[in-house]
A = this chain, B = another copy of it.
Amino acid sequence: MEMEKKIKAGDVRAASRLIRNIEDNVPEAKATIKHIFHYTGNAQVVGITGSPGAGKSTIVDGLIEASRKRDKTVGVLAVDPTSPFTGGATLGDRIRMQRHAEDPGVFIRSLATRGSLGGLSKAVGDAIHVMDAMGKDIILVETVGTGQQEVEIINHAHTVLVVLVPGMGDEIQALKAGIMEIADIFVVNKADREGAGKLQRELMIMLDMSPIPPEGWRPPILTIGNSFKPEEFERDIEKLSNNIYQHYDHLVSSNLIGDRLRRRTMHELNEALRSSILEPVLNILVSTGELDRMVEKLLKKETDPCSLSEEVARKYLQGCI
């Protein structure tokens, strides 16, 4: 059976191999990705972001459970920075999630941020397509950090959760990182901790200050209690899960889903263009040794990067400069 058919049939091994090839930027992956594009567009993609230690993995774990109770199939994509210290994608707090490994309705994979950010964003988009084509109903994408990378999740997701915890700096963090604007749902995790009320109030004030259009969605602020009190935790997660599905319904009923799809498509096209236009030029510069010669010239200050790259453009571009 062809690769894309296997993916469509939900074949876990084929999907895993394809995602690994996407991560490693293996050229053969391209053809399959082209074909599976036609099978995509059915899943609800949920981005879960927040600072490290905010408890995102625990929440993802809870959401898997809650979605399975509704008979939804689930894809989980954990986007991890790679560090030689930790060995990258395998993190202790993800072990808990592995209890779903036996459930055929759950497919969990991680992507390391090895390449450039541009490349990563493309890989995230492609990996989401794989899970979408597999027929997963909901895809949970967990990203770490507060930088541009997290803000980029909005280019892939229908619904963005921003997870905060009470304590030093989190309030500032939300403000500073520009993630306030991308949140569809705020989650105050570890809400039994000191400062949870303060954090909620601050979020509320900020939402009051921000204009919400008539057909808009005011991001709810939900709390998650102690994960060591299973009943309480489950009740909170259930509520969060409801809100996630409600947000999708809102996108559909208000027709806002069209805007999100358009933004996502535009972003994907941009990434694909970068890959098709810039990479062939870079490849030829590298393979001919021209790039090294250019670097030498620059180190000697014989010329500047801008003049050099304009020369390259004159050589390899046609009809647009």
Residues of A whose CB lies within 8 Å of any CB of B are 30, 33-35, 37-38, 41, 51-54, 80-86, 91, 113, 117-118, 120, 144-151, 165, 167-170, 172-173, 175-178, 180-181, 206, 209-210, 261-262, 265-266, 268-278, 280-285, 291, 294-295, 298-299, 301, 304-310, 312-313, 315-321
Contacts and interface: CB of A to CB of B under 8 A. Distances in A.
A312 B274 CA distance: 11
Given A316-B319, A317-B277, A305 B180 contact: no
Contact of A148 (B33, B117, B167, B281): B117
A265 B169 contact: no
Of A35, A53, A82, A86, the most chain B CB neighbours within 10 A belong to A53
Contact of A262 (B51, B173, B295, B312): B295
Contacts of A170: 53
B278 A173 contact: no
What 9 pairs between A and B have smallest CB-CB spacing? A147-B147, A53-B169, A37-B304, A272-B305, A276-B309, A145-B147, A272-B309, A147-B149, A81-B178
B316 A320 contact: yes
Given A167-B168, A269-B298, A309-B273, A177 B144 contact: yes
A272 to B, nearest CB: 4
A149 B113 CA distance: 12
Given A33-B306, A37-B305, A321 B280 contact: yes
B299 A262 contact: yes
A317 B172 CA distance: 46
Contacts of A51: 51, 146, 169, 173
A47 to B, nearest CB: 14
Given A149-B149, A299-B262, A317 B85 contact: no
Contacts of A150: 147
Given A146-B145, A312-B277, A313-B280, A209 B85 contact: yes
Nearest to A114: B178
B84 A309 contact: no
Contacts of A310: 276
A176 B81 contact: yes
A55 to B, nearest CB: 10
Contacts of A167: 167-168
A115 to B, nearest CB: 10
Contacts of A168: 53, 165, 167-168
Nearest to A149: B147
Nearest to A263: B295
A278 B280 contact: no
A81 B172 CA distance: 12
Contact of A173 (B52, B284, B318): B52
A82 B283 CA distance: 34
Contact of A83 (B35, B178, B291): B178
